[in-house]
């Protein structure tokens, strides 16, 4: 007794089996989370080392090269990319595919610890991280209130941010703009000279005074109490009354004698605006294993709660950008297409099989095959993403093949006058091998993807699992559920023109016969003119190869799509201050907002970039705009790329001497598609060659945003000490340097 005979004669097992599949599928679907793409990690490790006050050349020689040498023997490293920046060293270790990232990071940490003694004492501990799309902010927020700028910033730092950071899945929040309160001690240089006091003495005196220290314990026979020295400053007067020195016995010099102590604002390093309105910008990143959609929902709920609690202060959180909007829209679109496909397939089956009952069987068979995939995805920890949903859309055609092949053959036996059970058995048995062959072909095509050891396999693995699971389930449905349903509700169809619908089906069948006859005549012509038809096929094949070779059809891993959103970066001269940057950026921002196509503009002046490849470091001479255009309907389907190019040409003419770079924001983050590396021992020659090559590439049609990764150094003043005079005065280079650093910071 084969599986089909068991399902027809003893259906209890099949009913229970598919009931379990359906139940698991429903549970799985409700527990599946949304993601735009499957979770995958690029084999890249980034080592970031902060060296305060150091210029790129110093960072290169003292930090970057030493860490490079230490990592050169790291197992699994393909190549290293080093970026020496002001105050920071960035080393990007590109690993060979298949390398264990966690083990590699542990080994890298051990190698760096071994050379830690050879690195400058002033550096902060090197920080390592993996590179993946999860490193990008998923939300950009602009916060505003009726409070004063300093009070709002303090509340944001002490109250609001801790609430948000406690949300499950939130990894890091970068703050842009705002005015942070700062107690400033402004020293009078003339009075320092008068009292013969150095600036370092003032700093040390203040640092020694404003301390809380544990002082031990006081124990008696009955109790034990701890003792603490409380010396932290509680007012400006406390700082003013700190004794700095006593040049003359009995005449101490206090801070108030040589400096003004004021309650001021910290020096501005970044500015944030949304549609021209100042606020505090927040860039929110999620944890690597967290679901972006879930994190976004929780964060939005937290914002609403904070707004309600601080309604009198007028606190508002505006979501300037949320990458999960694209995720939800894309997933919902595919789900809608999936449901529509099932409905359309059922209608088509009604036309071809001429039976409501057979269409009902198809409607049951297809979702039953799909629902099993939800169960498997849930058990394997997968998500509803573009890959898994596109796999389901693709698989519908395969599922229809399995269902229709069996149903059509069973219907043929029913039309011969056989009873339902016999027709179901004979119909399935007759085409069993053909159905098995169809299914196994699909399985052997997609199954090998699971064993690929390349980067793209991580993206296609979930796609392959869904296709294989649904296909095998479809085969099981075709051999069990479909014959059982046909044996119960199948019916011989003898259409008579008794109503409008039957007449329509008869008309459709007549048209189908005409089409079949026409196709038969074309096939007869092809078979009688084999050489001519072979020549036509070969000509089409050669033309296809020619089109591909000419580059008419492009190649890319995943199309970014047109989301109506792009990022524009401005780069000014190296000597540009944050204030001058803001002044010009504000004019450009106003011009962009005035464009009728623009919906919103999120401005980031001097803060770290939000794009892929960002090093998390801001620059005073750089600005970034995230621009959202209006809907396609309002813009008459104007492509974002076209608007970007037109805007850049307009800005270049109105605001010259600024380096503009733009990048459309698609479904997935993208870096530069083409990178060329020039290397050599002579840095000046390499830079000259790079600039020459850049000029050549910029003339190539289609080349855009051509940039050099190495930038010219910032202008600086050099202080050259006179060693003889320093020795006569009893001064050291370290002491002088410390005084100078204190004076300028």
Is 240 a member of any domain?
Answer: yes
Distance in angstroms (rounded) separating the CA atoms of residues 505 and 46: 65
Cβ neighbours, 10 Å, residue 622: 21
Q: Are residues 630 and 569 in the same domain?
A: yes
Is-contact 279 142, C-beta < 8 A? yes
Distance in angstroms (rounded) separating the CA atoms of residues 450 and 463: 10
Tens of pLDDT, residue by residue over 570-611, are 988 888 889 999 999 999 999 999 999 999 999 999 887 765
When pLDDT is averaged across residues 261-276 and rounded to a whole number, the result is 90
Is 737 a member of any domain?
Answer: no
Q: Which residues contact 289 (CB under 8 A, 6 or more apart)?
A: 39
Q: Are residues 372 and 451 in the same domain?
A: yes
pLDDT above 70 coverage of the chain, percent:
94
Residue 601's DSSP bridge partners are: 627
Higher-confidence residue: 479 or 354? Answer: 479
Q: Are residues 169 and 294 in the same domain?
A: yes
- The whole-chain average pLDDT of the chain stands at 84
Q: Are residues 280 and 154 in the same domain?
A: yes
What is the CATH number for 588? Answer: 3.30.70.1430
When pLDDT is averaged across residues 538-552 and rounded to a whole number, the result is 85
Cβ neighbours, 10 Å, residue 509: 14
When pLDDT is averaged across residues 648-665 and rounded to a whole number, the result is 88
Is 601 a member of any domain?
Answer: yes
Is 545 a member of any domain?
Answer: no
Is-contact 352 493, C-beta < 8 A? no
Q: Are residues 140 and 91 in the same domain?
A: no
Q: Are residues 316 and 455 in the same domain?
A: no
Q: Which position has the token pair 């590396």?
A: 677
Cβ neighbours, 10 Å, residue 156: 23
Cβ neighbours, 10 Å, residue 586: 16
When pLDDT is averaged across residues 219-247 and rounded to a whole number, the result is 86
Q: Are residues 164 and 272 in the same domain?
A: yes
| Coil vs helix vs strand at 390 | helix
Lowest mean pLDDT among 37-41, 57-61, 100-104: 37-41
- Domain boundary residue among 131, 151, 168? 131
- Domain boundary residue among 468, 494, 520? 494
Residue 438 pLDDT class (50, 70, 90 cuts): confident
Is 603 a member of any domain?
Answer: yes
Is 743 a member of any domain?
Answer: no
Full domain range(s) for residue 68 = 44-131
Looking at mean pLDDT, say which of 55-64, 299-308, 379-388, 672-681 comes out highest: 299-308
Distance in angstroms (rounded) separating the CA atoms of residues 97 and 453: 7
Burial of residue 129 (number of CB atoms within 10 Å: 0-12, 13-18, 19+): middle
Is 367 a member of any domain?
Answer: yes
When pLDDT is averaged across residues 370-393 and rounded to a whole number, the result is 86
Is 334 a member of any domain?
Answer: no
Cβ neighbours, 10 Å, residue 743: 11
Burial of residue 358 (number of CB atoms within 10 Å: 0-12, 13-18, 19+): buried
Q: Are residues 18 and 111 in the same domain?
A: no
Q: Are residues 151 and 190 in the same domain?
A: no
Q: Are residues 109 and 161 in the same domain?
A: no
- According to the 3-state scheme, what is the secondary structure of 526-570? HHHCHHHHHHHHHHHHHHHHHHHHCCCCCCCCCCCCCCCEEEEEE
Q: Are residues 236 and 365 in the same domain?
A: no
């Amino acid at each position: 007794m084969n599986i089909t005979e068991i399902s027809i004669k003893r259906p209890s097992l099949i009913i229970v089996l598919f009931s379990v599949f359906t139940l698991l599928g429903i549970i799985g679907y409700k527990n599946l989370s949304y993601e735009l793409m499957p979770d995958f990690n690029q084999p890249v490790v980034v080592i970031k080392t902060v060296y305060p006050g150091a210029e790129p050349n110093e960072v290169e020689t003292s930090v970057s090269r030493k860490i490079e040498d230490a990592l050169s023997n790291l197992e699994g490293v393909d190549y290293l990319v080093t970026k020496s920046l002001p105050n920071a060293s960035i080393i990007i270790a590109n690993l060979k595919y298949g390398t264990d990232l966690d083990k590699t990071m542990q080994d890298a940490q051990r190698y760096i610890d071994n050379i830690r003694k050879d690195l400058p004492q002033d550096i902060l501990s090197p920080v390592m991280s993996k590179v993946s799309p999860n490193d990008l902010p998923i939300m950009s927020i602009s916060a505003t209130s009726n409070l004063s700028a300093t009070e709002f910033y303090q509340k944001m730092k002490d109250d609001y941010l801790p609430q948000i950071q406690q949300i499950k899945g939130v990894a890091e929040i970068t703050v842009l703009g705002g005015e942070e309160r700062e107690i400033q001690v402004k020293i009078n240089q003339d009075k320092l000279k008068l009292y013969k006091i150095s600036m370092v003495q003032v700093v040390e005196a203040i640092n020694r005074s404003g301390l809380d220290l544990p002082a031990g314990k006081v124990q008696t026979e009955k109790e034990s109490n701890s003792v603490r020295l409380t010396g932290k400053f509680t007012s400006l007067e406390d700082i003013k009354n700190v004794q700095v020195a006593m040049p003359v016995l009995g005449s101490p010099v206090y801070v108030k004698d040589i400096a003004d102590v004021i309650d001021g604002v910290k020096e501005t390093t970044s500015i944030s605006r949304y549609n021209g309105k100042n606020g505090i910008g927040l860039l929110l990143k999620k944890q690597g294993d967290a679901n972006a959609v879930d994190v976004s929902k929780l964060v939005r709920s937290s914002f609403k709660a904070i707004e309600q609690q601080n309604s009198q202060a007028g606190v508002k959180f505006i979501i300037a950008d949320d990458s999960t909007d694209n995720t939800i829209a894309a997933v919902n679109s595919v789900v809608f297409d999936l449901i529509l496909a099932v409905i359309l397939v059922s209608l088509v089956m009604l036309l071809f099989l001429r039976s409501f009952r057979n269409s009902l069987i198809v409607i049951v068979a297809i979702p039953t095959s799909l629902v099993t995939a939800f169960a498997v995805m849930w058990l394997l920890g997968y998500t509803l993403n573009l890959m898994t949903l596109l796999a389901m859309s693709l698989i519908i055609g395969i599922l229809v093949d399995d269902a229709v092949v069996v149903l059509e053959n069973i219907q043929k036996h029913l039309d011969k006058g056989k009873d339902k059970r016999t027709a179901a058995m004979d119909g399935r048995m007759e085409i069993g091998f053909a159905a098995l062959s169809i299914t196994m072909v699909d399985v052997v095509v997609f199954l090998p993807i699971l064993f690929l050891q390349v980067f793209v396999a991580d993206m296609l693995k979930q796609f392959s699992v869904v296709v294989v699971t649904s296909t095998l389930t479809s085969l099981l449905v075709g051999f069990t559920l479909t014959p059982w349903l046909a044996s119960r509700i199948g019916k011989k169809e003898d259409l008579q023109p008794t109503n409008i619908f039957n007449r329509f089906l008869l008309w459709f069948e007549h048209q189908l016969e005409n089409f079949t006859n026409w196709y038969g005549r074309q096939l007869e012509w092809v078979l009688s003119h084999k050489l001519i038809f072979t020549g036509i096929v070969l000509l089409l094949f050669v033309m296809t190869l020619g089109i591909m070779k000419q580059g008419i059809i492009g190649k890319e891993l995943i199309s970014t799509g047109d989301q109506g959103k792009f990022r524009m970066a401005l780069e000014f001269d190296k000597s540009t201050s944050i204030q001058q940057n803001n002044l010009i950026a504000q004019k450009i921002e106003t011009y962009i907002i005035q464009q009728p196509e623009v919906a919103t503009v999120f401005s980031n002046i001097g803060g770290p970039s939000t794009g892929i490849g960002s090093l998390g470091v801001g620059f005073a001479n750089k600005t970034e705009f995230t621009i959202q255009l209006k809907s396609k309907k309002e813009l008459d389907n104007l492509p974002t790329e076209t608007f970007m190019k037109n805007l850049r040409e307009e800005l270049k003419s109105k605001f010259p001497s600024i380096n503009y770079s733009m990048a459309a924001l698609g479904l997935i983050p993208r870096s530069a598609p083409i990178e060329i590396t020039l290397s050599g021992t002579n840095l000046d020659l390499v830079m000259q060659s790079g600039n020459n090559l850049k000029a050549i590439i910029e003339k190539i049609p289609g080349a855009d945003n051509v940039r050099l990764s190495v930038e010219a150094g910032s202008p600086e003043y050099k202080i050259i000490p006179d060693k003889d005079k320093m020795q006569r005065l009893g001064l050291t280079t370290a002491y002088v340097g410390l005084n100078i650093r204190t004076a300028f910071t």
